[in-house]
Structure formats: C-alpha cells, structure tokens
Amino acid sequence: MLKIIKVIFFISLIFSVFNLYSEDYSTIVQGDDEEVSELLQKALNQSILKVLGSQRDFNLNQQNFKKLNPNNFVREYKFIEFNDEEALEVMIDLKALQEKLLELNLGISFLKNPKVAAWVLCKPDYSSLQAAKSLDQKCKFVKKEFDRVANERGITIVYPILDSRDISLFSFENNSNLENLTIFNDRYPSDGWFFCEISSSSEWCFLPEDIEKKFSKLDVESKYKPAVGINILIDNLFSNQRLKASSQSNLPYYLEIRGLKKFSDHKSFENILKNILFINNLSLMSLRNNSATYSFNLLSEERNLLNYFDEIENLILINKEKDKLFLALGE
C-alpha cells in the first residue's frame, strides 16, 4: 500500500552569514501504518535535504545517507496530535548532522527560511465547460505540488496575483512571447521567484535570468516541469549561501588566544569554539600566562573561520601561520 508521509518543518535555526551557531530543530512526521523506525528514517532524510540545500547532492549521495543511523542524530521524539491525527515529533541534533555532512565532503546551507514567489499563469480554456474545469484542477494540482516541495525543502511559498501591471507586456494569445514578459516582484518580498504557464496542453516553468533581481526577464532558453523548476530555483538560492567542505578536514589546526585575564574568559571563548559547526575534535593543549592553545579539525576552508572571528567584538587577529591562528581579546 502506498504510504503517504507528511513532514512539516519547525525550524529553530539562528544563522547569520558567518555567525554559524547550530541548534536543535524538530520535525513533525505523520504516516499511515509506519513503524517508528521508518518515521525516524524519513525525518532524518528530510533533515539532510534541508541542511544540504541541494536536491542534486541529496540524490547523488543516497548510498551514503542510507548508511546513517537515525539514532546518532535524533535527540528525542514523542507522540503528539497534529491536525487531529497522531504524529511523531522528532528533535534532531543539528550540529551532529552538519558535521557529518561536512565529513562526507558535502556543503551545507545556512540560508534561513527562504521565501519563494511562484507566479502561476493559468491560461483560460473556454472551449467547453469540461475543459475549463479540467484546467482549473490542473492548476490546483500544480500548486499542491509546489506546496509539497516547499514543505520538503523547508521554504515558504507565496502566490502573487497576476494583474495588468505585472503582465503589461504579455500577450494571452497562443503565440505569446514569453521573452517579453517582465516580472515586477518588488511588491512580494522574497528571496527568489519563478514563472509558470499552465494550459490545457502543457505546463512549463521558467526561471529568471538573474534570480537575485526583483525585476527580470525570463530565461526562455530553458523550461522545466513544475516540480523540477522549483527545486532548481531552491538549489540556486541555497548555493549562494553554502558552507563548503574542506578536503583537509582530517589535518590538525591550532589556535592560540591571548588576553584571558580570568578563567571565565577562557570558558567563554571555549564555548564559542564548541559551537562553531565546522570545528570538531576540539582539545585544550595548554592554559598558562593568560593564554590558551587549542587544537581541532577544521571542517571547512580557513577563510570561513577568519570571517567568523571577524564578527566577534573585541577579538583581534594578531598573526596567521600555516594551520595556526594567533588571537587576542581586546579591552
């Protein structure tokens, strides 16, 4: 029997561009006649897709993901009632999952809760009442597909209303010239947008020539089926804000911090290091003369670490050698 799984993301991430702390987040999973172990696996897969930010990477690495044990990433779970049905709320250890994906030499996204505007034009068909009803059902199905993908990818989707301003350059005839269609997306704040044309005979989606612009023409050289188009757009959005894995992740990296006047200063800085998602195997090597030296594995490029420290107030970069940083706490 075909089993339907619904996963709704409740994201409690607190990310800024280089302030890459990681926290837990939970997913609510519902399924028909599913064992708890199956639901936990589904929740883990959904979490992996969210953290990766790439449907392509998710598909290409299925064999690696199948080897992952949900018990290593699930902090806890409990049965709840959701939409008048029994559901399973699963709390995921986000940092452990992020570190594992980086160890697998995969990038991870830190774009928080992106919003996508889906411009859907349903071209009317008045040839018969049945044709009109059929087109209406087709458009509803496409939007339902977009909602499904939005839930899977952890994004918010909005549906702007096409009006005379939005489509002033667009012809509704069968030979409509899509390259002349300019979308004015400024009234619908979003991180990205795309356009779909649905008719009785076809359904195609087009991406903007520049996904970062509010005003843009369409890239008419490529067209996609609805589910494919929205996933490509989401991948593009996440790719602009992804932490890339480093091939040198198994090599030791060293950091010396000076100006630790109190033991509490040392503990505070150590907690900062522990919460950086691209650091693991952190070890305190020495603590003397108001300074501390640490070793760890750096799971990403060194520039990510430098940019991260640059965002911390009163933290000064004194010197940088190969695989070692010298920092100092300012006054």
- Output the pLDDT for position 224: 94
- Output the pLDDT for position 216: 74
Q: Which of 28-32, 88-92, 297-301 has the highest mean pLDDT?
A: 88-92
Beta carbons within 8 Å of 91's beta carbon, 6+ residues apart: 24, 25, 26, 74, 75, 76, 77
The residue whose two tokens read 């996508």 is: 116
Position 164 confidence tier, pLDDT thresholds 50, 70, 90? very low
| Predicted TM-score of the model (pTM) | 0.65
Read off the pLDDT of each residue in 162-169 and give the average, rounded to a whole number.
Answer: 49
pLDDT above 90: residue 248: no
- Output the pLDDT for position 220: 83
- Output the pLDDT for position 242: 72
Beta carbons within 8 Å of 164's beta carbon, 6+ residues apart: none
- Output the pLDDT for position 19: 36
8 A C-beta contact, residue 227 and residue 145: yes
**Cα–Cα distance, 324 to 318 (Å, whole number):** 11
**Cα–Cα distance, 42 to 61 (Å, whole number):** 16
- Output the pLDDT for position 184: 59
The mean predicted confidence, pLDDT, of the chain is 79
Q: How far is CA 51 from CA 58, 154, 164, 289, 321, in A?
A: 10, 10, 39, 41, 32
CB-based burial, 192-204: b 16+ in 10 Å, e otherwise: bbbbbbbbeeebb
Of residues 222 and 240, more confidence is placed in 222
pLDDT above 80: residue 32: no
- Output the pLDDT for position 75: 92
Of residues 73 and 83, more confidence is placed in 73
Position 27 confidence tier, pLDDT thresholds 50, 70, 90? confident
Residues 114-154: pLDDT tens digits?
889 898 888 888 888 888 899 999 999 999 999 888 877 87
The amino acid occupying position 289 is N
What percentage of the chain has pLDDT greater than the value 90?
27
Concatenate the DSSP letters of all residues of 281-302 into one string.
EEEEEEEETTEEEEEEEE-B-H
**Cα–Cα distance, 234 to 237 (Å, whole number):** 5
Q: 33 in helix, strand or coil?
A: coil
